[in-house]
Structures are given as C-alpha cells and as structure tokens.
Amino acid sequence: MIEICNVTKRFGKFVCLDQVSLEIPDGMVYGLVGENGAGKSTLLRLIAGVYRADAGEIRIDGRSASAVAAKEEIFYMPDRQYYDRNATPLTVGNFYRNFYAGFSMEDYRGLLEMFGLEENALLDSFSKGMKKQVFIAAALCTNTRYLLCDEVFDGLDPQIRKVVNDLLLGAVEGRKLTILIVSHYLEELNKICGCKGYLHRGRILTEQEWQELL
C-alpha cells in the first residue's frame, strides 16, 4: 500500500502540495485527476523519491519511500522519456535490467515484437507514441510491485491505448501490480481505474467537491 500522510511540497514561496493525504490500496489501478499545475506530477516524483517532501511522510508497505528497499519496488515512468541519443529499445532494456533484479528481457522483447518495434532501431527515429510504447514495455517487465505513470496514454493512438489498457489490467490481475496513473484522458481513466482521486491547487478534493468545481 502507498500511504501519503499530510505531505507538503514547496518551490520557493509557491506551495505546490498542501498537506495531501491519500491511500492507494494494493492490486488496483488508481487514477489521479486534476488541472494543469495541480501538483499531480510533483506527487508522483515525491512517491518515486525524485523529490523530498518539505513536511509529511510517504510510506510504501510501511517503509519510508526514501528507503532503498521501497525504491526497488517502484518503477516511475515520467511524461517525457529520457535516454542517451544513441539509445535503442535493446539498450533501454539492458539499462533497466541492471537496476531491477526481476527484469525479464524475454518478456520485454516479446512486448517490443507485439508493438511492432525494432529492437535495434534508434529511439530518435521513433514517434512520440512509439517511444512511449518502449518505456511501457520496460515498465511492465521490471516486475516491480508499484508502477507510477505520468500521462501514459499521451501520444498513443486509440488502438494502442486499448492494448496498453489490457496489458496494465492483466498485470494488476496476474501479479497484483498496483498502478498510479496521472492523466488528462478521463475517458481512458474511467475504463481502467478502480478508483480516482481529485487534486486541485495542491489539495485533495472529495468527488462531490470535484463535481461542483467542474
């Protein structure tokens, strides 16, 4: 379980997250909704350990999110993928295999083939959606217990979005993966998420408050 307890994050004088508390149960897809600048991506980075909270605590299975053992159970996929300019899908797989003991290169190559992606082609020659597919494949093949996705559907055409939905749900059902997704694709979130949270100006809203805001 991911537990977010009274977390505050500031950037200078700007309060990005203001005493946010949230629980994300194991074995489900949880969607986080909010307008631009609401703090969604910042919250993902805090859970992943990219940022440190100014106040409050984040726990993964009862351990601090900053603990090495907790980080080993998390894969964070940002909205923008970062890679070496000479990287190929194969070198991406080898990179993550060095960091995640459970990474399955066999499964990774299988997903690349399913997506129709050449493993030795340069990532710079791929479209935005094709790059996203490479990192979705890598994320699923790390076999971590938690997957954090920032705008996972962005750049994917409708057919590929359905394939990705099926893959994510299959991982949740098959190995009890817990997924936290930040996305503006509300239709896709409604298809895949067992539960949603609503973030507005750094605060978590109830569903009723969110509907009133809309």
Sequential DSSP letters for 57-77: EEEETTEETTSHHHHTTEEEE
Average pLDDT of every residue of the chain: 91
R_g over Cα of the chain: 17
Nearest-5° angle of CA 55, CA 60, CA 64?
45
Torsion of CA 74, 76, 82, 88, to 10 degrees: 60
69-81 pLDDT, tens per residue? 888 899 999 988 8
Taking a C-beta distance cutoff of 8 angstroms, is the pair 165, 188 a contact? yes
- H-run or E-run covering 76: strand 74-77
Alpha-carbon distances of 171 from 155, 179, 199, rounded to whole Å: 22, 9, 26
Cα gap 76→22, rounded to integer Å: 18
Alpha-carbon distances of 20 from 17, 102, 169, rounded to whole Å: 6, 32, 27
Predicted confidence (pLDDT) at residue 211 exceeds the cutoff of 80: no
95-132 pLDDT, tens per residue? 999 999 999 999 999 999 999 999 999 999 999 999 99
Q: How many CB atoms lie within 10 A of CB 187?
A: 9
